Amino acid sequence: MEQKTNINAQEGKQELIITRAFDLPVELVYKAYTEAEFITQWMGTNVLKLENKSHGSYEFETSHEGNVMFKANGTIHKLISNQEIVRTFEMENMAIGVQLEFLNFEKITEDKSKLTIQIIYKSEKHRAEQLKLPFAYGLNMAHDKLEEILKPII
Amino acid sequence: MKLRRDVFQAISDPTRRAIISLVALQALTPTAIAENFDYSRQTISKHIQILTECEILEQEQKGREIYYHLNPIGMKEIADFIEPFRIMWDDRFNRLEAVMKSRIHEHKK
């Protein structure tokens, strides 16, 4: 079965390309990125600020049991409804640094769409820090799935 | 592809995955790593040895202590280093899809 989410990280480059096929109209995928209510629901983060305009900025904060676990911020450079977002993104206190993101929203059919995110890092080393992230955070959560994938190979 | 199989073996074990998670955050001595587990120091040493042989962990001598840190370059050579990252995004996007789908259903009600 073809995977819905793909990551392309070419050797020697300082960029990542993430693609995802959605069973959703493109308008809803765009909404999921531009309306605080939805960002909170799918990213599990509080939206402190979100200015959807050129040169606007945004701030996210995730708390767990009263402690701030994660803070992120960025500047929106350009927005075209249901088509494109160009923005910076930075996770505070992380070795990954500021990244530049180009999000492209594509309509496939009335209720299918595709999202392509090109992320550019300061260097290849900064990109490697990003790829390390799930090992630090999400791996335990994802390990059952990882096992499913690994089992047939081992 | 001996290396490849070894790396899969390395990350197929939950204890070794937990070690990777710990060392991903900061370089640690074997003692500091072992303190996080109920297993014997010897068991943990064995896991560390396997991870080092697979070039997932790297040793670094600092004074009298040996520190272990994650070797992102070694891991990067394996395409599957990306797999946990892909799963993380896949989970996230699945959530996005579910949230927005429930939105459609609400509208249709």
Cross-sheet strand order for the sheet of A112-120? A5-8, A15-22, A112-120, A99-109, A84-91, A67-80, A56-64, A46-50
Residue B80: its pLDDT value, please? 58
Is A47 in the B-facing interface, judged by CB distances under 8 Å?
A: no
Residues of A in contact with B101 (CB under 8 A): 23-24
Helix, strand, or coil here: A41? helix
Match 């395409």 to its residue by tokens. Answer: B79
Nearest CB partner across the interface for B14, out of A29, A38, A143: A143
CATH of the domain at A45: 3.30.530.20
Q: Given a cut of 50, is residue B58 above it in pLDDT?
A: yes
CB distance A87 to A98 below 8 Å: no
**Residues A104-130 pLDDT 10s:** 999 999 999 999 999 999 998 888 888
| Cβ contact B86–A150 (<8 Å) | no
- Domain boundaries, position A27: 5-9+15-150
CA torsion sign for A93, A96, A98, A101 is negative
pLDDT at B37 over 80: yes
pLDDT at B97 over 80: yes
pLDDT digits (tens, 9 = 90+) for A43-73: 888 999 999 999 999 999 988 777 787 899 9
- Give the sign of the dihedral formed by CA A26, CA A28, CA A34, CA A38: negative
Nearest residue, CB atoms, B89 vs list A5, A31, A153? A5
Share of chain B above pLDDT 70, in %: 78
Q: Does A145 touch chain B (CB under 8 A)?
A: yes
Domains: count for chain A: 1
- Average model confidence (pLDDT) across chain A: 85
Does B23 score more than 90 pLDDT? no
